[in-house]
Amino acid sequence: MPLKVGRGAEAPPFLVMDVIAAANARAAALPPGAPGVIRMEVGQPGTGAPRGAAEAAIRALRSGTPLGYTEAFGLRSLRERIARHYAERYGLAVPPARIAVTVGASGAFPLAFLAAFDPGDAVAMAAPFYPPYANILTAFGMRPLLLPCDAATRFQPTVAMLERLDPRPAGLIVASPCNPAGTMLAPEELAAIARWCDAEGVRLISDEIYHGLVYGEAKEASAAAFSGSAVVVNSFSKYFSMTGWRVGWMVLPEDLVRPVECLAQNLFISAPHVAQVAAEAAFDCIPELEENRARYRRNRDLLRRALPAAGLDRLSPADGAFYLWADVGHLTNDSPEFCARMLREAGIAATPGVDFDRERGSRFVRFSYCGPEADMAEAAERLRRWLRP
Ligand SMILES: Cc1ncc(COP(=O)(O)O)c(C=O)c1O
């Protein structure tokens, strides 16, 4: 008898992981002394956890404290520290009781989606988008509803786009700064979207994982400032440079606190204890983290200056995060083939746009600029030689 394979098995791959594997294979096959592969595909800081966070983890390991399960919503001291972060950074009073520590932002999405939506529900998001939003929804039998966005709205949704949705979706996911375009919603735009969602009974999920990584004039605002019913998702992976520690958090609306707690108890029990200790200490490492941010800004400025010389001049405004979303439609209509060739011929790994926008991503490439500064200069030069020999 053939065995049943569930609908969750239909979730598409997160293609960037395949690009990472191809770049690793290419790097391993290079002869000694050959120029290495420049990694612009990964969305993770090249730096490790800030020193104070690592030291707190070492202290916890040495102290003999049994690092067991924590409460499902995390260590109380960490939840209180996150609440203080909302007071200090945004001037918001968020009670620790509404804060859930999660296994990265990735661990927050299944909890939020299962608590807020039912199978069959439509959940809207801008396209291009972070692929796991749609892939997780699909695995749960929910329906991603894509709102095609372009440079005219900084790759972000608008209330006018939402007004056209009939019937209304059950939810809306926004991210500001977003991945892959690195663009932001102005605080008043986020406020208008949050008000619209509340008025129309649409659950807003605001992915704020790139907060702290903002450059130039753009201002960041938390959806928690505008709506008591929005779910806010954040993480220690990006600004705090702690991807592998797997800690994130949510600010939950009152009505979802207990449902999410029950789901978290069953699905994860808790986020890793030692990582929570390190995460709490990371809030006291701001000077080191600001140095990382300054480096990302220099990388971004360098690429924005240098890439046009390689003929790559249609770049997203790059308000924040660490990505450039480049329109390469004048060079290819097959971004996976273009990226494979770029890796082979120029030694640069970048992510084809189809990962983020299955319809229009064939003419886009995402470059991540969180790597070392010297790599960015070298990448710009290699691209110039490759595209304008
Ligand atoms: C927009 C966005 N949200 C969420 C995540 C997941 O982050 P983590 O699970 O490491 O917190 C990422 C990772 O790249 C991301 O880009």
Tell me if 351 CB under 6 Å of ligand 1: no
For residue 280, the 8-state DSSP code is: H
User: CATH number of the domain at 7-49+287-387, please?
Assistant: 3.40.640.10
User: In 203-345, which ranges are continuous DSSP H helix?
Assistant: 254-267, 273-282, 286-306, 335-341
Tell me if 126 CB under 6 Å of ligand 1: no
Residue 209 CA to ligand 1 centre (angstroms): 7
Contact 176, 184 (CB under 8 A): yes
pLDDT tens-digit map of 231-248: 999 999 999 999 999 999
Residue 172, CB half-sphere, CA atoms under 13 Å: how many? Answer: 27
Residue 132 CA to ligand 1 centre (angstroms): 9
Tell me if 105 CB under 6 Å of ligand 1: yes
pLDDT at 217: 79
Specify burial of residue 388 (Cβ count, 10 A radius: 0-12, 13-18, 19+): exposed
Could you tell me where in the chain the CATH 3.40.640.10 domains are found?
A: 7-49+287-387, 52-284
Identify any residues that bridge with 222 across adjacent strands, giving them in sequence order.
none
Which residue lies with its CA nearest to atom 13 of ligand 1?
43
Identify any residues that bridge with 352 across adjacent strands, giving them in sequence order.
365
Tell me if 355 CB under 6 Å of ligand 1: no
Whether the upstream peptide bond of residue 180 has omega within 30° of 0, thus cis, is: yes
Q: Give the pairing of strands 171-175 and 143-148.
A: unpaired
Contact 371, 40 (CB under 8 A): yes
Sheet holding 203-207, edge to edge: 99-102, 248-251, 231-235, 203-207, 171-175, 122-127, 143-148
Pick the CATH number of 52-284 from 3.40.50.150, 1.20.58.1030, 3.40.50.920, 3.40.640.10: 3.40.640.10
SS3 (DSSP) at 356: coil
pLDDT tens-digit map of 281-340: 999 999 999 999 999 999 999 999 999 999 999 999 889 999 999 999 999 999 999 999
pLDDT tens-digit map of 356-372: 999 899 999 999 999 99
Give the separation between CA 111 and CA 333, rounded to whole angstroms. 37
pLDDT tens-digit map of 47-77: 999 999 999 999 999 998 899 999 999 999 9
pLDDT tens-digit map of 22-36: 899 999 998 888 889
For residue 187, the 8-state DSSP code is: H
Identify any residues that bridge with 204 across adjacent strands, giving them in sequence order.
172
Which residue lies with its CA nearest to atom 14 of ligand 1?
43
Residue 275 CA to ligand 1 centre (angstroms): 17
Residue 175 CA, closest ligand 1 atom number: 1
Residue 237 CA to ligand 1 centre (angstroms): 7
Q: Can you tell me the mean pLDDT for 154-166?
A: 98
Q: Of all helices (H) and strands (E), which one includes residue 148?
A: strand 143-148
Give the separation between CA 118 and CA 13, rounded to whole angstroms. 23
Give the separation between CA 79 and CA 67, rounded to whole angstroms. 17
pLDDT at 6: 82
pLDDT at 163 over 90: yes
pLDDT at 208 over 90: yes
